[in-house]
Amino acid sequence: MMKIAIIGAGALGSVIGFHLANAAEVVLIDQWAEHVAAINARGLRCTRDNEIFTRNIPAVSDPTSIDSIEVALIAVKAAQTAWAAEVAAHLLPADGVAYTLQNGLGNDEVLRLRLGAHRVGQAVTTLGATLIGPGHARMAGLGPTTFGAAPSLHIAYTLADHFRIAGLPASVSTDLNSLVWGKLIVNVGINALTALLRVPNGALANIPAASKLVQRAVEEAVAVARAAGITLALADPVAETLAVAQTTAANYSSMLQDILRGAPTEIDTINGAIVREGQRVGVPTPFNEILCDLVKALEATAPLRARE
């Protein structure tokens, strides 16, 4: 049975860990001590289809207590990627691989700097997840996970097999670029706007004034992708982004969740990535620049916010 460490047991990491523990030997690693304590005391709870299930899975905050594992799945926020890289470096053997399931662009580069390119893989997931409280997550959407074939085709296929055995749809691809950018573009259209407007995803699809803003953010991102030579799998990126918002209508985006709890957002690896890539390929991205500035201002002014 494959030994897997999930580094970052937030919403996504908890939902994956809960299911994957049915097919592999799993340990959860997270810096939130209250969450870790709740999992160890009462088991990890997962709400799915309005039912609550519980599974006993070991969880730690101190990774030095864990024996060597074969694979690390990185599910932390972008600000914690350097920490996750150090944890993975401690746990992984010379032939072990860390797969990043994170949002945006640039996280894999941070991991490669610490672990080496031969030990870092990329994966794209459209699983939806929400953290309800310490030790309790909710599956918000059963989307597929795709593992990149590099750096180890064997590990990629083994991971995909384990996901499928656990009830999570998964596959392997030799070229993830179109999927990575497709997910990035959807996040560009949804995350920052829901955080700024303080609304669930569905509002972006159902309120014309908000949908217009989605269109502006996405069209800039698509122009950057095309200039960078990326072949997008999205036939109509704006329509498909709005469709995702509608399908996940009741969900709070991860960026809105960050804003609500006063945590750093991933704006730099999502809309910020579009701005940086736009500068590199010579495509202006004024609307995404404004979104970045607004989200950063929202983060910085949190202590001063007016309350009712």
57 inside domain: yes
What range does the domain containing 98 cover? 3-173
Query: One of 3, 77, 183, 212 is an active-site residue; which one?
Result: 183
Q: Exposed, middle or buried by CB within 10 Å (0-12, 13-18, 19+), for 114?
A: middle
Alpha-carbon gap, residue 196 to 191, rounded angstroms: 9
305 inside domain: no
pLDDT, residue 155, reads: 97
Alpha-carbon gap, residue 245 to 94, rounded angstroms: 41
pLDDT, residue 261, reads: 87
Active site residue 296: no
In terms of domains, do 270 and 197 share one? yes
In terms of domains, do 131 and 30 share one? yes
pLDDT, residue 306, reads: 83
The residues of the chain scoring below 50 in pLDDT are: none
pLDDT, residue 212, reads: 98
DSSP string, the chain: --EEEEE--SHHHHHHHHHHTTTSEEEEE-S-HHHHHHHHHH-EEEEETTEEEEE---EES-GGGSPP-SEEEE---GGGHHHHHHHHHHH--TT-EEEE--SSSSHHHHHHHHH-GGGEEEEEE--EEEEEETTEEEEEE---EEEE--S-HHHHHHHHHHHHHTT--EEEES--HHHHHHHHHHHHHHHHHHHHHT--THHHHH-HHHHHHHHHHHHHHHHHHHHTT---S-SSHHHHHHHHHHHTTTPPPHHHHHHHTT----GGGTHHHHHHHHHHHT---HHHHHHHHHHHHHHHTGGG----
In terms of domains, do 185 and 273 share one? yes
pLDDT, residue 91, reads: 95
Alpha-carbon gap, residue 270 to 143, rounded angstroms: 20
In terms of domains, do 105 and 41 share one? yes
The structural domain count of the chain equals 2
CATH number for the domain harbouring residue 115: 3.40.50.720
CATH number for the domain harbouring residue 260: 1.10.1040.10
pLDDT, residue 141, reads: 86
pLDDT, residue 103, reads: 94
pLDDT, residue 42, reads: 97
